[in-house]
Structure 1
Amino acid sequence: MQTTAAALPYDQRPPNKNLRHIDGDDGLPFLGRTIEMVRDPAVLFGDQYKRFGRISRVSITGFKTVLLNHPDYAETVLLDRDKNFSCKMGWKSHMGEFFDGGLVMRDFGEHRNHRRIATESFRREAMLEYTSQVQDVTKATVQRWGAARDIVIYDEIKRLLLDIAFNVFCWLDERDASEIPNINRAFSQMMEGAVGMVRFDLPGLSYHRGLEGRRYLKRFFLERIERKRASADRDSFAAFCRATQENGEPYSDEDIANHMVFLMLAAHDTTASAATMAAYHLAHNQDIQEELRAELAATEGPIGYDTMFRTMPLMAGVFHETIRMHPPVAMLLRRTVRACEIDGVAIPADTMVCVPVAFLQRHPDFWTNPDSFDPHRFDEGRMEHRRHTFSWLPFGGGAHKCIGLHFARLLFTSLYAELLNQYRIEYRKPNYFPTKVQNLPFAKPTDGLPVRLVPR
């Protein structure tokens, strides 16, 4: 007797494609509105909101998806009190082959078990230990940038943050250090492939290059597990290699390698985007650069971890505003396990749902002049991000909230404290702002942002 789809486990069932009862725009055959989403997710999601309201139907890369254009719905989905919104199945169709085994590809109890060991890398004690390492590498790198004066800042920041990620999460010996340029290239290929629209593993396609990059990275970590397990190292890679699950069993080599690929990606690529887009806005707003220098000058003593989080409100505001306008992840995807209702709208089982972070963080009902760069909107007297707890979601929310949010701020603050104390950031090209920005997989100017560092 043939097993019906409904009788299968939720992660083996096909996606629901029947959303005719929900208003929306399916766009082009197969592609749907994917091209518009790649061009600018916030514009696409905003268009859906204006035309169809808070809940609408949209087609992205062939998947019929329910778009949830209000923070109330984001709260329902991300807190997921009834365990009905699968992160794994939300991302599987879009990024599954690239994020295989990472935390976003695990649900519920399995996710909790694996998140437990990953969280160890971001405890307060670990962060205090990382601070001096981050600052030492940053200081040496900024000195090199200053000697060059003219740099393409995205490329340089990405290299810096990957160096830092290896320094704190995966110590390399001299035999492995030469691999860093290949690793950097593999991560770039992996993320470019993840958003490729022609998704076949064939030579010449970005999707194929992305999978090749993913295979290289996984192989890199697999080949070093035994050596790392036997070492006296105290980094995250070593901790993964020696850790045990809740049942007392060790994690498999596959799990360890997959977690390391995901950790190293999250530890540098997303923050490289944020730091680059901050430079883009700061070069256009020289007055904010001066305000930041005044804040740095007023800071007593060395800038330690606690100082960053307690006494530098404008630096925090610049970071928060940058990732409001250019979130590391433009949308959060889930898939329903069972049929449910959201605000009276029936959502069938196995339906893709989307929390449109890029739009919610510019939603006109919750943000003043949402398309303007204004770090002071996070000041004590305004606190616009608290108008609704789920209107500002650069790190997600609920069980899958990013575990590296404080590490990202440590990286960002360390970089700009060092950079702005010594240099003024200027565009190298006249009439540069506004320029063309690539929004996916992570935001950056398409030319990588050529800047000049002018000594103060």
Structure 2
Amino acid sequence: MATRTAETDRTVPGPAGLPFLGSMFDMRRDTLGTFLAAQREHGDVVRIWAGPPGLRAEVYAVFSAEGVQKVLATDSANFRKDNVFYEELRESFGNGLLTAQDEDYLRQRRLVQPLFTRRRVDGYAAAVVAETERMTAGWGEEVELVGEMTRFTLRAVARILFGTDVDAAVQVVEESFPVIGDYVLRRGYAPVSLPRTWPTPDNRRAAAATARLYAVCDRIIEQRRAAGAGPAEGPEADLLGLLAAAESAEDGSFDAAELRDQVLIFLLAGHETTATSLAFALHLLARHPEEQARAREEVRRVLGDRAPGAADLEALPYLTQVLKEAMRLYPAAPVIGRRAVAAAEIDGQLIPAGADVLLVPWVTHRHPRYWGEDPERFDPARFEPAAEKARARYAWFPFGGGPRACIGQHFSMLESVLALALLLRDFDFESLTEEVPVSTAITLQAEGAARVRVGRV
């Protein structure tokens, strides 16, 4: 942590917490609620500390859209992915696009960018529709949305990555990801972490899960390379084949380890985040019948009885508004971390060099300055074009922003809108759950079931 001096100590306000322990118990009990209360009581830049002397952690949380823009965009070079959570993610999931920095990141981005053009991503629409239909074929009268959407998005991203090798990959990911994710989280929060090489039960369990995950990815990559490059276009053009073929005179190509790193990051970032958006969009629609009816009317008017395709996205503006509002209230990445290289002033507060800086979409997405006096209310009209244009650029940032903005955001929107359209075309959703408690881990985590009654329409 940075050492505070007379020059840097324009004391940043924040909760006092308990003597000697600060906000340690508040952060453990309700991290997101603690951040929300800190903004309401202390303003848009707050200092939060937790833990006893000698093991104390200190973070600076930035809540305003203008502050977020400075960290992610205008001064992004000063705010790096150097904190402990990114270090743990690199150790477990490799040095892919989410975690890489500097020249490694730029090289990877240049190689991967051509695979995420709008035209290329639109070609995955048929796979999304097929997996949606596969999911609903097994539905009964009641559905638990979080589990269903997580399985659906995992199968969809695995199908797009691996083509026909879906089932083996899905089973290993389902078994391994929760173990590794919990391990990363525990190590990220621990004041002191034991070396990963020590044979503790926690280390051994995580190492075994990681080995299984790496093995299935390595096997599929080896088989794909032995078979030669697949087609560059059409439904058989899976992403792994395109990644393996990606090459340029400047950047070369990915070796087997680099390919695995990209695959693991795409699996991690490409299924839990979209699953969260879909589950909570359906949960909110199930609790708001009028908005559900309006969205269904739009879908039926555009689609009739046919399946949706990429070309339908622009014709479904209200459904897109519903999705964006769900992503506002339940951002899949509720906390984003950086570390300041040099001291920086944000919203009149001086953040010292070396400080851990947190952006909290959960709070910014509820900020009364951007969202009015009732920011908890579900209101898709907030995303009508005129309202979006009038609002600060970074009042809503579920995909991050600046030069490190999520490369897969068009795919996430395509997958979510197409799946929602197909589900609303065929089903009515009635909520059986009033509220779904959530917590923050690597992504937003539902702490309870989101049950709905479903009926054919």
Distance 2:439 2:351 in 1: 32
2:376 is matched with 371
Counterpart position of 1:449: 450
Distance 1:380 1:298 in 2: 21
SS at match of 1:426: strand
What is the distance in 2 between the residues matched to 1:237 and 1:425? Answer: 36
- Cross-structure match for 1:305: 310
Match of 2:42 among 52, 55, 60: 52
Match of 2:138 in 1: 144
Relative to structure 1, the CA distance from residue 222 to residue 32 in structure 2 (aligned partners, 3 Å threshold; closer, same or farther) is farther
- Per-residue deviation, 1:440: 3.4
Give the residue type in structure 2 aligned to 1:452. Answer: R
Residues 39 and 438 of structure 1 are in contact (CA less than 8 Å); yes or no, is this contact kept in structure 2? no
Count residues with an aligned counterpart: 432
CA contact (8 A) 2:277 2:327 kept: yes
Q: Displacement, 1:395? A: 0.6
- Where 2:368 maps in the other structure, the secondary structure is coil
Say which SS state the counterpart of residue 143 (structure 2) adopts: strand
Q: In the alignment, does 2:293 pair up with 1:290? A: yes
Aligned mates of 1:35, 1:222 — CA distance in 2: 42
Aligned to 1:168: 160
**Tell me, what secondary structure is at the counterpart of 2:264?**
helix
Identify the residue that residue 262 of structure 1 maps to in structure 2.
265
* Structure 2 Cα separation of the partners of residues 57 and 139 of structure 1: 48
For the pair 1:224 / 2:229, whether they are aligned, the reply is: no
- Per the TM alignment, residue 378 of structure 1 is displaced from its structure 2 partner at its CA by 0.9
Which residue number corresponds to residue 236 of structure 1? Answer: 239
Determine if contact 1:328/1:394 at 8 Å carries over to the other structure. Answer: yes
Q: Which AA in structure 2 matches 1:118?
A: V
Task: Spell out the pairing of 1:55-204 with structure 2 (5 A cutoff).
Answer: 55-59=45-49, 62-81=56-75, 83-89=77-83, 91-92=85-86, 95-145=89-139, 148-173=140-165, 177-196=167-186, 197=189
1:4 aligns with none
| CA shift in 2, pair 1:246/1:215, >3 Å | farther
Distance 2:164 2:17 in 1: 48
Report the RMSD for the aligned CA atoms in angstroms: 2.8
SS of residue matched to 2:275 = helix
CA distance in 2, matches of 1:355, 1:409: 22
- Partner residue in 1 for 2:422: 418
CA distance in 1, matches of 2:241, 2:303: 37
- Partner amino acid for 2:405? K
2:102 and 2:395 mapped to 1: Cα distance?
Answer: 24
> 1:10 is matched with which residue?
none
Q: Pick closer, same or farther for the CA change 1:281–1:344 going to 2, 3 Å.
A: closer
1:450, CA displacement in angstroms?
Answer: 2.5
Distance 1:347 1:54 in 2: 13
Q: Is the 8 A contact 1:38 1:439 kept in 2?
A: no
Q: Structure 2 regions of 5+ residues with no counterpart?
A: 231-236
Residue deviations 1:298-330 (CA, integer Å, cap 9, x gap) = 21565321221x121111111101110111111
The question of 1:277 aligning with 2:280 is answered yes
Secondary structure of 1:257's counterpart equals helix
Separation in 1, partners of 2:21, 2:333:
21
Check 1:92–1:129 CA distance in 2 against 1; reply closer, same or farther (3 A cut): closer
Please say if residues 127 and 407 of structure 1, whose CA atoms lie closer than 8 Å, have aligned partners that are also in contact.
yes
Deviation for aligned residue 1:81: 4.1
